[in-house]
A = this chain, B = another copy of it.
Protein backbone atom coordinates (compact mmCIF):
# COMPACT_ATOMS: atom_id res chain seq x y z
CA UNK A 1 0.00 0.00 0.00
CA UNK A 2 1.28 3.42 -0.93
CA UNK A 3 0.00 4.65 2.45
CA UNK A 4 3.01 2.99 4.01
CA UNK A 5 5.75 4.50 1.91
CA UNK A 6 6.49 7.34 4.29
CA UNK A 7 8.25 6.90 7.56
CA UNK A 8 8.86 9.62 10.09
CA UNK A 9 12.22 10.11 11.67
CA UNK A 10 12.85 11.48 15.12
CA UNK A 11 11.96 15.06 15.84
CA UNK A 12 15.64 15.91 16.34
CA UNK A 13 16.04 15.82 12.58
CA UNK A 14 13.18 18.18 11.92
CA UNK A 15 13.76 21.88 11.57
CA UNK A 16 11.25 24.32 12.98
CA UNK A 17 8.99 26.53 10.93
CA UNK A 18 8.94 24.29 7.93
CA UNK A 19 6.07 22.66 6.17
CA UNK A 20 6.87 19.69 4.00
CA UNK A 21 4.58 18.79 1.15
CA UNK A 22 5.28 15.61 -0.77
CA UNK A 23 3.70 13.91 -3.75
CA UNK A 24 4.56 10.29 -4.48
CA UNK A 25 3.37 7.86 -7.12
CA UNK A 26 4.42 4.85 -9.10
CA UNK A 27 6.13 5.92 -12.31
CA UNK A 28 5.01 3.05 -14.51
CA UNK A 29 1.30 3.32 -13.84
CA UNK A 30 0.87 7.03 -13.22
CA UNK A 31 1.71 9.79 -15.62
CA UNK A 32 1.12 13.35 -14.51
CA UNK A 33 1.36 15.46 -17.63
CA UNK A 34 1.59 18.92 -16.17
CA UNK A 35 3.48 18.20 -13.00
CA UNK A 36 5.15 21.60 -12.89
CA UNK A 37 1.84 23.40 -13.15
CA UNK A 38 0.30 21.11 -10.53
CA UNK A 39 3.21 21.78 -8.21
CA UNK A 40 2.91 25.54 -8.72
CA UNK A 41 -0.83 25.51 -8.05
CA UNK A 42 -0.35 23.48 -4.87
CA UNK A 43 2.23 26.00 -3.67
CA UNK A 44 -0.14 28.88 -4.41
CA UNK A 45 -2.81 27.21 -2.28
CA UNK A 46 -0.41 26.70 0.63
CA UNK A 47 0.57 30.38 0.39
CA UNK A 48 -3.03 31.36 1.09
CA UNK A 49 -2.91 29.58 4.45
CA UNK A 50 0.59 30.12 5.80
CA UNK A 51 3.20 32.86 5.52
CA UNK A 52 5.88 31.56 3.15
CA UNK A 53 9.45 32.82 3.39
CA UNK A 54 11.18 30.46 0.98
CA UNK A 55 10.56 27.27 -0.99
CA UNK A 56 12.88 24.44 -1.98
CA UNK A 57 11.80 21.80 -4.48
CA UNK A 58 13.35 18.39 -4.88
CA UNK A 59 12.42 15.65 -7.32
CA UNK A 60 13.42 12.10 -6.64
CA UNK A 61 13.20 8.78 -8.40
CA UNK A 62 13.62 5.76 -6.19
CA UNK A 63 13.22 2.57 -8.15
CA UNK A 64 9.63 2.68 -9.31
CA UNK A 65 8.53 5.57 -7.14
CA UNK A 66 8.62 9.18 -8.25
CA UNK A 67 8.66 11.66 -5.40
CA UNK A 68 8.27 15.40 -5.48
CA UNK A 69 9.21 17.20 -2.28
CA UNK A 70 8.30 20.80 -1.65
CA UNK A 71 9.91 22.24 1.46
CA UNK A 72 8.14 25.41 2.54
CA UNK A 73 10.04 27.62 4.93
CA UNK A 74 7.57 29.61 6.95
CA UNK A 75 7.94 33.16 8.14
CA UNK A 76 7.71 36.79 7.10
CA UNK A 77 9.47 38.29 4.11
CA UNK A 78 8.98 35.74 1.35
A interface residues with partner B (beta carbon < 8 Å): 1-11, 13-26, 28-30, 32-34, 37-38, 41-42, 45-46, 48-50, 56, 58, 60, 62-65, 67, 69, 71, 74
Q: Main SS of chain A's interface residues?
A: mixed
- Judge whether B30 and A26 touch: CB under 8 Å: no
By the criterion CB–CB under 8 Å, are B24 and A1 in contact? no
Q: Are B24 and A19 in contact (CB under 8 A)?
A: yes
A-B CB proximity, top 5 nearest: A11-B64, A16-B29, A2-B18, A7-B7, A20-B24
In the complex, the answer to whether A20 meets B38 with C-beta atoms within 8 Å is no
Expressed in whole angstroms, the minimum distance between the Cβ of A54 and any Cβ of chain B is 13
